[in-house]
Amino acid sequence: MPTIITLPGDGIGPEILAPALELLRTISEDFTFDEHAFGGAAIDIHGTALTDETLAACRKADAVLLAAVGGPKWDTTDPEAPRPEQGLLGLRKGLGLYANLRPVRPLPALYDASPLKRERIEGTDLLVVRELTGGIYFGAKTRTARSASDLCEYSVEEVDRIAHVAFDAARLRRKKVASVDKANVLETSRQWREVVHIVHRARYNDIELTDVLVDNAAMQLIARPADFDVIVTENLFGDILSDEAAMITGSIGMLPSASLGEHGDPGLFEPVHGSAPDIAGSGAANPLAMFLSAAMMLRHGLGRDADAAAVEAAVDRALDGGLRTRDLGGEATTAQATRAVIDELGRE
């Protein structure tokens, strides 16, 4: 019986996690759920965004399902004050979750919801593979009255392992990898490019590899998103580019993600969107990215491919049937969206 740690977090987090658990219970009664406070909610209770107890529970679990963290209540420029996002970084580091997978596949039913023209996004099906535990987010930080610094640092081993993840993913897709860096300026990027090419030559000659500077990648994601298959990049670039790519789908409320470590370790599954405190409590939150994150958990965390495909198909059919939450230009509430998807799941 799989044990899943649930982290509702902040803002709309509890409002979208509860429907996801209802969805999972519809699939099977075999799951055991163990809820823990996390992010700002944990700061309010424990004074820290991630307690040792929560991290220990996550390490013992089969998977971790996270909803959302953060909000203006905990925003501060005080470097000594706890922040909700520290919990997320601590969880990634503590579980060794170095590979973040963010699929971007706009559905035909939502082509007109995208700010991009239909002809630009038709056929887009890409995967952003973001290195998650290195780079500037985890480098040494300094702050004085007159200056501040953040160290961006990568080891060869960190680049090597994320490159393998990207190339292995491409083998199951269209066999194209775009490696995104800033090698014309940054030494870390020059090392990144060199290591990615070494990995490519050693084991992946069947994959087409292209180097793309990050500023050009940002432009090409808007100009020709369907040309991309797998994008692999470092932590900061991946954070920015995957949020940009989210808008191809019509709303960031549609994008799931999976954060994975070594084989056999529990993964972390969460929507890409934030905690949306402006709509928290209104019943307007879009739960679909949470549902799709649960599907990624079923596939990548629990090895239940058929169940994952069933959830994804149910979301597709609900949207084909006219489901539109407010972020997608409609009026459906969280509860109505949940009912629509679960009803479709029952028709499998």
Active site residue ranges:
137, 182, 215, 239, 243
Q: Tokens standing for 120?
A: 């630009």
Cα separation of 34 and 41, whole Å?
Answer: 16
Cα separation of 140 and 80, whole Å?
Answer: 15
Cα separation of 221 and 25, whole Å?
Answer: 37
Compute the 3-state secondary structure of the chain and give helix, strand, coil in percent, each to the nearest 5: 50, 20, 35
How many of the other CB atoms lie within 10 Å of CB of 270? 27
First vs last C-alpha separation in the chain: 23
Residue 293 CA neighbour count, 13 Å, CB half: 34
How many of the other CB atoms lie within 10 Å of CB of 302? 18
How many of the other CB atoms lie within 10 Å of CB of 155? 11
Give the burial class of 43: count Cβ atoms within 10 A of its Cβ; 0-12 exposed, 13-18 middle, 19 or more buried. Answer: buried
Given a contact cutoff of 8 angstroms between Cβ atoms, the answer to whether 142 and 192 are in contact is no
